[in-house]
Chains A and B, each alone.
Chain A
Amino acid sequence: AQTVTQSQPEMSVQEAETVTLSCTYDTSENNYYLFWYKQPPSRQMILVIRQEAYKQQNATENRFSVNFQKAAKSFSLKISDSQLGDTAMYFCAFLRGNNDMRFGAGTRLTVKP
């Protein structure tokens, strides 16, 4: 069964605008970790932001923030003031236990000048 679902295969946004990428996950656990990774054309996976499920406060890293809705099992990524360098594949990931990281299929984001 799919553990992590990203329902938007592709998205685009104008430079300097805000975009939100969606992610839902399925788990019966109470404590877990969620992540967003960015994969630019170079294909190296870069950690963007992480969220601990036991923390109610949404994580923020500069222009990147998340909207974590634990009851709804939703974990969306908001990118503010989009830049051309944000163009990449974005993957939502859910950590099961200590080592089993499950990734969504990804959202291809294009930032247009």
Chain B
Amino acid sequence: SQTIHQWPATLVQPVGSPLSLECTVEGTSNPNLYWYRQAAGRGLQLLFYSVGIGQISSEVPQNLSASRPQDRQFILSSKKLLLSDSGFYLCAYRDRGFYEQYFGPGTRLTVT
């Protein structure tokens, strides 16, 4: 069965510091991968998606970037965090041939 992992679970970082959030998927091959951000009390906003290694599509201009160095690994990064980057970050995957997305447990990021 497929599982999706995210780490860290929580993170507190000062403004201007770098960021690296990691997402890995097990039990599937060549999935589509997604990064979402959820502000407090709000719905999810799609940030990036990837249909293959090295292929990244950005949905929202921002202070963040994404990379997919391996088939089942998706990384969200920033060189310098802003206060507005605080939020709950969710990674998701979709198997080819299907349309539903399955989510990881999320990372709560607080920028101070």
Contacts and interface: CB of A to CB of B under 8 A. Distances in A.
Interface residues of B, number: 25
Contacts of B101: 47, 101
Interface string A92-103: 000100111111
Residues of A contacting B: mostly: strand
Interface residues of A, number: 23
Interface in A73-113: 91, 95, 98-106
B106 A44 contact: yes
A42 B104 CA distance: 11
Contacts of B100: 33, 35, 47, 50
B104 A44 contact: yes
A50 B88 CA distance: 24
B46 A42 contact: no
Interface string B81-92: 000000010101
Contact of B43 (A47, A50, A104): A104
A91 B90 contact: no
A33 B43 contact: no
Given A43-B106, A103-B43, 18 more contacts: A4-B43, A33-B99, A37-B103, A44-B106, A45-B44, A45-B92, A45-B103, A47-B100, A47-B101, A50-B99, A91-B43, A95-B99, A98-B99, A99-B57, A101-B44, A101-B101, A102-B46, A105-B43
8 contacts: A33-B99, A35-B100, A43-B88, A44-B103, A91-B43, A105-B42, A106-B41, A106-B42
Interface of A: 4, 33, 35, 37, 42-47, 50, 52, 91, 95, 98-106
